[in-house]
């Protein structure tokens, strides 16, 4: 029977074997493929959840001055948290904590700690090391210290207003911390400012000394490179400590150099003269009679002090002895439109933009008529921030160009944007007049020996609800130095400075002397060499005296 | 076929072991990297604190009085600068005022205003 039976062929067995072989080949391919992938690319060990933490831990960039001196940095700090579910007696814990952390709200904390459903509440953030040690010493259960980055300003009040500060979470709130917040949050290299910490200190210390000499409400001091616009110092008094994160009064927090507006008075007169000289409506030899008040538009302009030879004065005399009448007559020659256009070109009517903390927008006359023209010519009726005004004097120091303020290094002098606002010869002529104002006029107290200070005083009555108050002045001094090779602009503004010695409260006695001291101390720090031999003739004279010496 | 299957299984096992070892090695290396990173972060924090302390200790309102009182240093005044044209005359005046002058003593004209340390 077997001979007639068909031999059995295990068809399914072969198929099974092929299927198994196929599956194994597939597994093999996957494993080999994955092995090759891992070998080539490495394991993906960083879990997705870890990435946000890595991003969040980017350290806020430091802020340094132009020489790399540290101004703001981030250091490890500690905050205190509690786990209410692990605390049995919330009242007792809160009372114990209150003993070492007096700023705590006892009732609020007790309420929070009593909520036993919660597992995490902040007790106090930003602990000092002493506070942390004191809390640790309590030995209370249910508390934990959380490490958090803390922004600190190791030089204290130095450049406090300009640096600004962050909140506890590291977000910029004021000053550079706010203006450069995005850049700082990105971490990386320090933000290098144009400020010079040493010059900044000099300006702040002199403002502090000004308060010792004068009973004053506030002040501002600025030092700017006339050629590049680099701001080397920008100080506001009273000084602000950014480590206190805005805990001071509003009067302290106000940055008077950038965010306050002042009617700055006669330091506008050089602008009036420059405008007229440039327009050709004034020459250096033109003479004016300033012996009596003049009526221009609705304003009667008069000089508080009579000028020498008042019946015949030049533009140089108008600046040297600060004649309101002279300034108004010069402005009248040029006209309203020219005045507006000129001030607009100097960004005194707004429109200034620069990288960094911004300045207050100006307050200008609502109706710019003959009356406004006359008052603006000597710095009344127009209010601007001290920084905005300081930048106008850069034109006298660099051959007639306006440069915008620059706060961040590096600055390539070849790429500084300059706008020609007056002819070089006009700038030179006004600079000469400003030097004369210091050598023979109202600015004598600013004459820092060897530094050829060229500047102008400004005394303006403060406007109030009932008009100008003759007992409250804004005094200012704007200068360029050294006159023979201008490098820097200095502006000092004092709010209600009243000499304690009984001297007059005009800028000649207040702001001019402070500016002179600032220049004398800041010039060596800025590598400005004093002018020792002013002319070749003097040098020849020296050589001659040597030759005749036996 | 059986041989092929056995070889296949053997290769798979070898590959699995190799991958496991590679993964283990990578984890160990990652652990070392994490440790080093944590160490670097810690050192970075220490450096930040020390830099802040240095800046705090060298702030001008602290250094200024120390420099004046301990070292007798004062800021340079214009009188301490000498123009090249006036150098020989300045040195000549010093020769007249100083009792005994050597070339070494006359050289540091810039230090004339520095008080000796007390």
Contact indicator for A392, A271 with CB cutoff of 8 Å: yes
Q: How high is the pLDDT of residue A130?
A: 86
Q: What percent of chain B has pLDDT over 90?
A: 39
pLDDT band for position A336 (cuts 50, 70, 90):
very high
Minimal CA separation from B108 to chain A, in Å: 18
Cβ burial of A350 (10 Å; 0-12, 13-18, 19+) is middle
Among A21-25, A251-255, A479-483, A513-517, the least confident range: A21-25
pLDDT at A8 over 80: no
Do B86 and A532 make contact, defined as CB atoms within 8 angstroms? yes
Question: Does residue A490 sit in helix, strand or coil?
Answer: strand
Q: Which of B22, B30, B48 is the closest to A75 by Cβ? A: B48
Q: Count of residues for chain B?
A: 118
Closest partner CB to A73 (pick from B12, B48, B81): B48
Contacts (Cβ under 8 Å, ≥6 apart) of A107: none
State residue B29's pLDDT score: 96
Could you tell me the two tokens for B41?
């972060």
DSSP assignments along A403-432, one per residue: E--B-BS---GGG--EEE-S-HHHHHHHHH
Is pLDDT of B99 > 80? no
Which of A76-80, A165-169, B95-99 is the least confident region? B95-99
Q: Compute CA distances A98 → A84, A133, A145, A146, A477, whole Å.
A: 16, 14, 16, 19, 51
Residue of A nearest to B92 (CA): A546
What confidence tier does A7 reach under pLDDT thresholds 50, 70, 90? low
Cβ count within 10 A of residue A129: 9
The continuous run of DSSP H or E covering A403 comes out as strand A401-403
Q: Please give the structure tokens belonging to residue B66.
A: 């120390």
Residues whose CB falls within 8 Å of the CB of residue A33, separated by 6 or more in sequence, listed in order: none
Burial A7-29, CB ≥16 within 10 A → b, else e? eeeeeeeeeeeeeeeeeeeeebe
* pLDDT(B105) > 70: no
pLDDT of residue A5: 60
Report the distance separating Cα A73 and Cα A242, nearest Å: 12
Banded pLDDT at A53 (limits 50, 70, 90): very low
Confidence of residue B100 (pLDDT cuts 50, 70, 90): very low
- How far apart CA A276 and CA A249 sit, in angstroms, is 44
> What's the confidence (pLDDT) of residue A41?
62
pLDDT digits (tens, 9 = 90+) for A186-201: 999 999 999 999 999 9
- Do A177 and A164 form a contact (C-beta atoms < 8 A)? yes
Query: What is the mean predicted confidence (pLDDT) over A17-43?
Result: 74
B18 CB neighbours in chain A (<8 A) are 35
Which residue numbers of A are catalytic? 266
Is-contact A484 A460, C-beta < 8 A?
A: no
Distance (Å, whole) CA B85 – CA B91: 11
Task: Return mean pLDDT, chain A.
Answer: 89
Among A369, A248, A271, smallest CA distance to A318 is for A271
CA pair distance A455, A50, nearest whole angstrom? 61
Task: Tell me what the mean pLDDT of segment A116-123 comes to.
Answer: 92
d(CA A407, CA A66): 10
Question: How far is B106 from B118, CA to CA, in rounded Å?
Answer: 23
**The pLDDT of residue A263 is above 60:** yes
The confidence band for A120, taking pLDDT boundaries of 50, 70 and 90, is very high
Q: Which of residues 415-444 of A touch B (CB under 8 A)?
A: none
Residues of A with Cβ-Cβ distance to B76 under 8 angstroms? 524
- Tell me how far apart the alpha carbons of residues B43 and A316 are, in angstroms, rounded to a whole number: 63
The minimal CB distance from B51 to the residues A39, A70, A543 is found for: A70
ipTM over 0.90: no
DSSP label at residue A288: B
Chain A residues in contact with B85 (beta carbon < 8 A)? 533, 539, 542-543
DSSP assignment of A307-356: PTTTTSB-HHHHHHTT-HHHHHHHHHHH-HHHHHHHHHHTTTTS----SS
Given phi > 0 = left and psi -120 to 50 = alpha, else beta, which region is A335? left
| B13 touches A at CB < 8 Å | no
pLDDT value for A172: 96
Sole residue written with tokens 């003739």: A537
pLDDT category at A47 given cuts 50, 70, 90 is very low
Is the pLDDT at A546 greater than 70? The verdict is no
Collapse the DSSP code of A477 into the 3-class scheme (helix H, G, I; strand E, B; otherwise coil) and give the result: strand
């Amino acid at each position: 029977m077997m001979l007639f039976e068909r031999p059995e062929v295990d068809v399914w067995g072969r198929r099974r074997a092929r299927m198994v072989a196929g599956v194994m080949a597939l597994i093999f391919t996957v494993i080999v493929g994955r092995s090759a992938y891992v070998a080539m690319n490495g394991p993906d060990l960083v879990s997705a959840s870890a990435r946000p933490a890595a991003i969040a831990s980017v350290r806020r960039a430091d802020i340094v001055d132009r020489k790399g001196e540290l101004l703001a940095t981030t250091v490890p700090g500690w905050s205190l948290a509690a786990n209410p579910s692990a605390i049995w007696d919330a009242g007792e814990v809160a009372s114990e904590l209150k003993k070492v952390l007096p700023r705590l709200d006892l009732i609020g904390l007790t309420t929070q700690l009593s909520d036993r459903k919660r597992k995490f509440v902040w007790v106090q953030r930003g602990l000092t090391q002493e506070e942390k040690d004191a809390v640790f010493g309590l030995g209370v259960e249910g508390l934990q210290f959380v490490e958090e980055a803390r922004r600190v300003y190791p030089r204290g009040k130095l450049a406090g207003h300009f640096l600004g500060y962050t909140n506890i979470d590291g977000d910029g709130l004021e000053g550079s911390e706010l203006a450069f917040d995005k850049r700082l949050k990105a971490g990386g290299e320090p933000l290098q400012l144009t400020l010079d910490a040493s010059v900044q200190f000099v300006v702040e210390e002199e403002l502090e000394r000004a308060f010792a000499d004068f009973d004053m409400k506030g002040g501002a001091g600025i030092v700017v490179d006339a050629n590049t616009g680099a701001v080397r110092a920008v100080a506001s008094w009273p000084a602000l400590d950014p480590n206190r994160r805005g805990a001071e009064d509003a009067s302290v927090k106000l940055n008077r150099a950038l965010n306050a507006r002042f009617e700055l008075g006669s330091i506008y007169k050089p602008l009036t003269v420059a405008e007229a000289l440039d327009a050709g409506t004034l020459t250096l030899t033109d003479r004016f009679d300033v012996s009596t008040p003049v009526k221009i538009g609705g304003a009667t302009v008069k000089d508080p002090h009579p000028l020498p030879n008042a019946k015949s004065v030049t533009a140089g005399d108008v600046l040297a002895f600060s004649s309101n009448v002279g300034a108004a007559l010069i402005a009248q020659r040029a006209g309203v439109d020219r005045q507006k256009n000129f001030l607009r070109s100097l960004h005194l009517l707004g429109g200034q933009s620069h990288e960094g903390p911004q300045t207050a927008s100006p307050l200008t006359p609502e109706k710019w008529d003959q009356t406004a023209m006359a008052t603006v010519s000597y710095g009344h009726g127009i209010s601007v921030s001290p920084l905005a005004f300081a930048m106008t004097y850069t034109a006298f120091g660099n051959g007639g160009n306006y440069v915008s303020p620059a706060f961040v290094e590096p600055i390539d002098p070849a790429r500084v944007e300059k706008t020609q606002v007056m002819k070089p010869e006009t700038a030179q002529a006004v600079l000469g007049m400003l030097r004369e104002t210091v050598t023979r006029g109202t600015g004598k107290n600013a004459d820092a020996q060897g530094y050829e200070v060229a500047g102008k005083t400004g005394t303006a009555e403060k406007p109030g609800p009932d008009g100008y108050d003759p007992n409250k002045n804004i005094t200012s001094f704007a200068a360029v130095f050294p006159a023979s090779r201008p490098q820097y602009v200095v502006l000092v503004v004092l709010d209600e400075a009243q000499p304690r010695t009984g001297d007059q409260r005009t800028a000649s006695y207040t702001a001019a002397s402070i500016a002179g001291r600032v220049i004398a101390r800041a010039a060596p720090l800025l590598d400005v060499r004093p002018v020792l031999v002013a002319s070749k003739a003097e040098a020849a004279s020296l050589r001659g005296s040597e030759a005749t010496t036996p | 076929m059986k041989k092929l299957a056995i070889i296949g299984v053997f290769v798979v096992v070898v590959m699995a072991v190799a991958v496991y070892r590679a993964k283990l090695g990578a984890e160990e290396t990652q652990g070392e990297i994490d440790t080093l990173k944590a160490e670097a972060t810690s050192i970075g924090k220490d450096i930040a604190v020390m830099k802040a302390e240095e800046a705090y200790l060298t702030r001008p309102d602290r250094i200024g009085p120390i420099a004046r009182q301990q070292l007798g240093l004062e800021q340079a005044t214009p009188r301490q600068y000498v123009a090249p044209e006036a150098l020989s005359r300045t040195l000549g005046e010093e020769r007249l005022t100083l009792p005994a002058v050597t070339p070494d003593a006359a050289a540091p004209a810039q230090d004339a205003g520095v008080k000796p340390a007390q």
